[in-house]
């Protein structure tokens, strides 16, 4: 077999045993790797209606056919499980050397079930699995855990291990805890809490196996082309500034959410802009393994420490919480990384709490000094969430769960979809994105579709809703599903002239199996249908595809988008157009005929 190993490693933490199992070629052809294979395995291994933080919820790592080929931006892996934040599928990506090592272990997937009795970490090689005590690692950050694991290895060989670990938030079952490796995070959906529930602190990998490709010459030729394109104008933003470049321009377009989505624009946007970070201070550029784009930016805080910063982190811990000082955002980001917290959900949950405090709905919280813009109180609350102490214990459940304790008014401004806090794209001024956020299988997600791309294209009126958006969102989701299953970084997405045709050529060269553009289009649709089927099995209802009341009741009241609103009728129209584009019925249910049509 080329491109794949054709097997998975099933590890049972309860019995401390493991087995290798074959994966049929037909399955790999049908869903590729990454999120596609992860979704398929989740459907198989998760008992219906499984409790996300129970031993029975499987934790699935998947590799992908392009990993290890040397193609730029392909050193990625997926972690898939049932999300403790949403109760639906969680499929998060992370990247770099851990991803390469996963492939070298000689499997296409790790499926981890059961739960350990004591804190444990897994040492996995291509020869097997060791279940090692992790009590001495508890309380450490993911980064410190990785260093300690490498420090305590027993052989020189083991010193080369690559480690993914959780921090204190995962240990404490914070429902938006991350899994981290090499400073990168499988961030959204709370996979870190699933680790914590299994008493699993880390996974350390070391392998020697390599996967051959079917046509080395053809793969190399494509690799050269993509490498050249990856340093062209389409990626200049990521290479020169990083994703933090979004903040100033989003603010100018009325698309930067601020103060818990209460309004736009943000008075201090220039001070917090990526351009200002680059111009005014020290910064470093980093990249994942096998990446020529190198989008990562580290900025120096006043204390002299270098901190990674992405747009979503900058938005969520900055304007969303009313924080104006760049250094305060860097400190907050550092805390989230240290504890292993998803920065978007952390910022979104704290912003909700700050509004509760402002409105007098949570007097105890107000007494702590929490309010929008109070950096000191917000930094303290981040630590409280990670430790589940004081108000942090409730906030560790996420804004949706926390809001149910405070009543209907507080629920109206919990800015989440399916329990997942919204990213930094204002839905009222980005109507295609509004639909994408409402219907995304994993909740308010900006990664499993690039629906905002349509709003920025000039092909649609971003301020108006219409029935054409359903097809755009479905196409974007399918495109993303293929990207995330090959796996290719989304920042390479505009470097293809004809994505499906070129990806089919690439997959044929890597695997030796004949793929056409049409095949891959169907793979994208199949994966999204599979995710929907999983969610349906876990109890999805039509009201889950909806946006928070604030977005549908309050027009934007200032800036270039003053008066722009999104009504329930407009959202309903777009959702129906999405279901129609997907071939689902008006309730969003998938019929037998549709399942057959996509090969499920």
Partner 1 sequence: MDTQASTQSPALSAVILSGGKSSRMGRPKALLPFDDKPLIAHLVERLSQRFSDIVVVAAPDQTLPSLPVTLVHDAVAHQGPVGGIYYGLRAIRGPAAFVTSCDAPFLQLPLIDYLVSQLTHNGRGYDVVVPVWQDRLQPLHAVYRRRVIPHLQEQLATQRLRPVYLYDTVPTRTVPAAEIKRFDPEGLSFLNMNTQEDYQAALAHWRTLSAPISCTVELFGVARLTAHTPRVPLTLAAEATLGDALTVLGVACPALLGSVLSADDTGYTSLRNGYACNINGKDFVRDAHTRLRAGDSLLILSSDAGG
Closer to partner 1 by Cβ: residue 109 or 430: 430
360 binds partner 1 (CB under 8 A): no
Q: Are strands 120-125 and 200-206 parallel, antiparallel or unpaired?
A: parallel
What is the smallest separation between the CB atom of 557 and partner 1, expressed in angstroms? 16
Which of 14, 17, 279, 284 touches partner 1 by CB under 8 A? 279
Give the strands of the sheet with 296-300, arranged side by side. Answer: 283-286, 296-300, 306-308
User: Which has the closest alpha carbon to 105: 45, 37, 162?
Assistant: 162
477 binds partner 1 (CB under 8 A): no
Specify the stretch interacting with partner 1 by CB under 8 A; choose among 48-56, 226-234, 470-478, 590-598. 226-234
Q: Which residues contact 487 (CB under 8 A, 6 or more apart)?
A: 33, 34, 64, 66, 67, 74, 76, 77, 78, 93
312 binds partner 1 (CB under 8 A): yes
SS in 3 state form for 184-244?
EEECCCCHHHHHHHCCEEEEEEECCCCCCCCCHHHHHHHHHHHHHHCCCHHHHHHHHCCHH
95 binds partner 1 (CB under 8 A): no
Which of 101, 310, 358, 478 touches partner 1 by CB under 8 A? 310
Which of 176, 491, 546, 579 touches partner 1 by CB under 8 A? 491
Q: What are phi and psi of 375, to 5 degrees?
A: -60, -40
User: Which has the closest alpha carbon to 521: 573, 482, 561?
Assistant: 482
Question: What is the rounded distance in angstroms from the CA atom of residue 91 to the CA atom of residue 80?
Answer: 4
348 binds partner 1 (CB under 8 A): no
Question: What is the rounded distance in angstroms from the CA atom of residue 14 to the CA atom of residue 11?
Answer: 9
227 binds partner 1 (CB under 8 A): no
86 binds partner 1 (CB under 8 A): no
Which of 162, 168, 201, 446 touches partner 1 by CB under 8 A? 446
112, 11 contact by CB (below 8 A): yes
The helix, strand and coil proportions of the chain, stated in percent and rounded to the nearest 5, come to: 45, 15, 40
Structure tokens at 251: 């603010």
456 binds partner 1 (CB under 8 A): yes
Closer to partner 1 by Cβ: residue 123 or 343: 343
Radius of gyration of the chain (CA): 22
409 binds partner 1 (CB under 8 A): no
What is the smallest separation between the CB atom of 187 and partner 1, expressed in angstroms? 13
Specify the stretch interacting with partner 1 by CB under 8 A; choose among 195-203, 275-283, 400-408, 435-443. 275-283
60, 100 contact by CB (below 8 A): no
274 binds partner 1 (CB under 8 A): yes
What is the smallest separation between the CB atom of 260 and partner 1, expressed in angstroms? 19
Specify the stretch interacting with partner 1 by CB under 8 A; choose among 8-16, 108-116, 384-392, 491-499. 491-499
Closer to partner 1 by Cβ: residue 129 or 561: 561
User: Which has the closest alpha carbon to 64: 95, 33, 36?
Assistant: 33
234 binds partner 1 (CB under 8 A): yes
Which of 60, 213, 245, 473 touches partner 1 by CB under 8 A? 245
What is the smallest separation between the CB atom of 488 and partner 1, expressed in angstroms? 13
Which of 240, 324, 384, 502 touches partner 1 by CB under 8 A? 240
Q: What single-letter DSSP state applies at residue 65? A: T
What is the smallest separation between the CB atom of 490 and partner 1, expressed in angstroms? 6
Question: What is the rounded distance in angstroms from the CA atom of residue 256 to the CA atom of residue 23?
Answer: 44
Q: CA of 302: how far to CAs of 74, 124, 234, 378, 379, in Å? A: 35, 40, 33, 18, 16
257 binds partner 1 (CB under 8 A): no
Which of 103, 175, 462, 469 touches partner 1 by CB under 8 A? 462
Structure tokens at 371: 């309010």
Number of residues in contact with partner 1 under rule CB under 8 A: 47
A 10 A CB-CB count for 171 gives: 28
Specify the stretch interacting with partner 1 by CB under 8 A; choose among 70-78, 89-97, 155-163, 490-498. 490-498
448 binds partner 1 (CB under 8 A): no
Question: What is the rounded distance in angstroms from the CA atom of residue 100 to the CA atom of residue 109?
Answer: 13
Closer to partner 1 by Cβ: residue 397 or 477: 477
What is the smallest separation between the CB atom of 472 and partner 1, expressed in angstroms? 14
What is the CA 450 to chain-centroid distance, rounded?
13
253 binds partner 1 (CB under 8 A): yes
Which of 126, 275, 384, 466 touches partner 1 by CB under 8 A? 275
Closer to partner 1 by Cβ: residue 363 or 458: 458
What is the smallest separation between the CB atom of 375 and partner 1, expressed in angstroms? 22
Closer to partner 1 by Cβ: residue 213 or 321: 321
424 binds partner 1 (CB under 8 A): yes
Angle at 261 between CA 532 and CA 392, to 5 degrees: 80
260 binds partner 1 (CB under 8 A): no
490 binds partner 1 (CB under 8 A): yes
Question: What is the rounded distance in angstroms from the CA atom of residue 522 to the CA atom of residue 519?
Answer: 5
Question: What is the rounded distance in angstroms from the CA atom of residue 338 to the CA atom of residue 486?
Answer: 30
Closer to partner 1 by Cβ: residue 134 or 186: 186
Closer to partner 1 by Cβ: residue 404 or 562: 562
What is the smallest separation between the CB atom of 111 and partner 1, expressed in angstroms? 31
Q: What are phi and psi of 129, to 5 degrees?
A: -125, 135
Which of 94, 145, 246, 301 touches partner 1 by CB under 8 A? 246
What is the smallest separation between the CB atom of 460 and partner 1, expressed in angstroms? 9
Burial classification of residue 202, based on how many CB atoms lie within 10 Å of its CB (0-12 exposed, 13-18 middle, 19 or more buried):
buried
91 binds partner 1 (CB under 8 A): no
Question: What is the rounded distance in angstroms from the CA atom of residue 393 to the CA atom of residue 172?
Answer: 10
494 binds partner 1 (CB under 8 A): yes
137 binds partner 1 (CB under 8 A): no
- Tell me which residues touch partner 1 (CB under 8 A): 232-238, 240-241, 243, 245-246, 248-250, 252-254, 274-275, 278-279, 310-312, 315, 423-424, 446, 450, 452-453, 455-459, 461-463, 490-491, 493-494, 559-561
């Amino acid at each position: 077999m080329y491109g794949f190993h054709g097997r998975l490693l099933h590890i049972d933490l309860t019995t401390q045993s493991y087995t290798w199992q074959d994966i049929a070629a037909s399955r790999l052809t049908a869903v590729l790797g990454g999120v596609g294979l992860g979704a398929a395995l989740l459907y198989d291994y998760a008992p219906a209606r499984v409790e996300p933080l129970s031993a029975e919820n499987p934790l699935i790592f998947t590799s992908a056919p392009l990993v290890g080929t040397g193609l730029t931006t392909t050193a990625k892996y997926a972690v898939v499980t049932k999300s403790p934040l949403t109760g639906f599928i969680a499929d998060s990506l992370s990247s770099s050397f851990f991803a390469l090592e996963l492939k070298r272990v000689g499997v296409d997937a790790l499926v981890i079930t059961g739960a350990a009795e004591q804190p444990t970490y897994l040492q996995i090689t291509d020869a097997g699995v060791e279940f090692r005590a992790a009590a001495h690692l508890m309380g450490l950050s993911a980064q410190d855990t990785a260093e300690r694991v490498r420090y305590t290895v027993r052989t020189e060989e083991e010193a080369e291990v690559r480690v993914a670990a959780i921090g204190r938030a995962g240990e404490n079952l914070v429902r938006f805890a991350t899994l981290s490796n090499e400073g990168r995070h499988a961030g959204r959906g709370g996979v870190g809490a699933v680790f914590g529930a299994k008493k699993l602190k880390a996974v350390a990998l070391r392998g020697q196996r390599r996967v051959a490709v079917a046509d080395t010459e053809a793969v190399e030729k494509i690799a050269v082309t993509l490498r050249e394109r990856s340093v062209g104008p389409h990626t200049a933003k990521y290479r020169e500034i990083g994703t933090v470049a979004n903040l100033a321009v989003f603010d100018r377009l009325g698309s930067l959410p601020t103060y818990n989505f209460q309004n736009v624009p943000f008075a201090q946007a220039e001070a917090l802009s990526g351009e200002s970070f680059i111009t005014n201070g020290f910064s470093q550029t980093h990249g994942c393994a096998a990446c020529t784009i190198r989008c990562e930016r580290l900025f120096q805080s006043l204390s002299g420490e270098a901190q990674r910063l992405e747009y979503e982190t900058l938005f969520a811990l900055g304007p969303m919480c009313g924080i104006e000082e760049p250094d305060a955002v860097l400190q907050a980001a550092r805390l989230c990384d240290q504890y292993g917290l998803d920065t978007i959900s952390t910022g979104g949950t704290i912003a909700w709490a700050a509004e509760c405090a402002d409105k007098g709905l949570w007097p105890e919280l107000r007494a702590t000094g929490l309010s929008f813009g109070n950096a000191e109180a917000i930094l303290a609350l981040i630590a409280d969430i990670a430790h589940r102490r004081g108000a942090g214990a409730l906030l560790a459940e996420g804004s949706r769960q926390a809001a149910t304790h405070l009543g209907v008014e507080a629920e109206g401004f919990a800015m989440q979809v399916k329990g997942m806090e919204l990213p930094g794209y204002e839905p009222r001024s980005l109507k295609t994105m509004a639909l994408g956020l409402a219907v995304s299988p994993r909740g308010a997600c900006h990664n499993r579709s690039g629906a905002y791309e349509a709003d920025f294209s000039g092909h649609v009126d971003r301020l108006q809703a219409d029935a054409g958006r359903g097809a755009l969102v479905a196409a974007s989701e399918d495109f993303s599903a293929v990207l995330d299953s090959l796996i290719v970084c989304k920042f390479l997405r505009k470097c293809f002239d004809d994505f499906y045709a070129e990806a089919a050529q690439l997959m044929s060269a890597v695997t030796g199996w004949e793929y056409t553009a049409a095949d891959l289009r169907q793979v994208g649709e199949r994966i999204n249908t599979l995710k929907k089927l999983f969610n349906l099995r876990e109890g999805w209802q039509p009201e889950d595809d909806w946006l928070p009341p604030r977005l549908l009741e309050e027009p934007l009241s200032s800036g270039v988008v003053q008066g722009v609103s999104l009504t329930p009728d407009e959202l309903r129209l777009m959702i129906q157009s999405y279901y129609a584009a997907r071939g689902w019925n008006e309730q969003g249910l998938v019929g037998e005929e549709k399942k057959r049509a996509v090969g499920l």
